Amino acid sequence: MRPRMLLFALQSALAHCRRNKLMSTFSVTTTTVMLLMLGCFIVVITSLNVTLRALESKIDVVAYVKDQADPAQVQNLRDSLSQNADVESVRYVDKDTALARMRQTLGDKAQLLSQIKGNPLPASLEIQLRFASSAPALADQLRQEAAIEEVDYKQDVVGRLLAITSFLRLTGLIIVAGLGAITLFIIINTTRIALFSRRQEIEIMKLVGATDWFVRWPFIFEGTFLGLLGAVATVILIAAGYQPMLTHLSGLLTFLPLAFDPQFLPKLLLSLLAGGALIGGAGSYISVRRFLDT
């Protein structure tokens, strides 16, 4: 775009915003409301996702080692698991450690173990995973190992956790996309009203030889500017209410230990600024293009 054309488009966009204060205020307000809803929902769903990822990382697969297993074979299995990309850590628990844990767990009833001859507890490999979704496949793999007697990974708990995380992530994606689409729809229709009020001016510009892009740019800049104003208002509101929102959310979901990413808020605010400007500009472009085509 030529500098003179760019300057004209910017001046025209700002002038139209000043002349149509009511419509501009409506556009900024609706954009702010929709972006605020979108931002608040992203805060909630992201906080839940961080917590669910933390819960997923606590899923352990326990492989019980046969008493007659070759130590070298067990060591090779440990080394193989340590190199597995899905495995966070591997810990070998010998029979004595297993018995000591049992005594600690039983507490006052630990004396009952004295009635049992020897140590009936097996050694085991405690495998911490990066993602709970890896547990079923790894458990099946371990069951094929000659040194392994039995594998336990709380199959019911893993299945329910994976179902919850999948549902929340899919629902979050759908709602975020829906709110973004509604915001875009509002911008398109607001720009359409502005176009209708200036249709005679646009017809005159076309008659004297103005190109479609010469007509489009002022509206695109106007939509981008109004979308950015709405995003700025949203950013201020979310920045001010972020900590109270987290406190309230933690109070409502006391049954779930929420975890929060300290780097999340700056990323969210920047994304909202970029999203507001992008949706405003895109909505205006779509509306002007349809108007000119008709």
* Range 37-57 average pLDDT: 75
pLDDT tens readout for residues 241-273: 888 877 776 666 665 555 566 788 888 899 889
Per residue in 41-80, is it b (16+ CB within 10 Å) or e — as a string? ebbbbbbbbebbeebbeebbbbbbbbeebeeeebeebeee
Binned at pLDDT 50, 70 and 90, residue 1 comes out as low
Quote the pLDDT of residue 120: 76
Quote the pLDDT of residue 190: 74
Let me know if domain 60-153 sits in CATH 3.40.50.300: no
SS3 of the chain: CCHHHHHHHHHHHHHHHHHCHHHHHHHHHHHHHHHHHHHHHHHHHHHHHHHHHHHHHCCEEEEEECCCCCHHHHHHHHHHHHCCCCEEEEEEECHHHHHHHHHHHHHHHHHHHHHCCCCCCCCEEEEEECCHHHHHHHHHHHHCCCCEEEEECCHHHHHHHHHHHHHHHHHHHHHHHHHHHHHHHHHHHHHHHHHHHCHHHHHHHHHCCCCHHHHHHHHHHHHHHHHHHHHHHHHHHHHHHHHHHHHHHHHHCCCCCCCCCCCHHHHHHHHHHHHHHHHHHHHHHHHHHHHHHC
Residue 232 predicted with pLDDT over 90 = yes
Quote the pLDDT of residue 110: 58
Break the chain into its structural domains and give their ranges: 3-55+161-293, 60-153
pLDDT tens readout for residues 188-202: 877 777 777 777 777
pLDDT tens readout for residues 114-165: 666 667 788 899 898 887 778 888 888 898 888 888 898 877 777 777 787 7
Quote the pLDDT of residue 106: 66
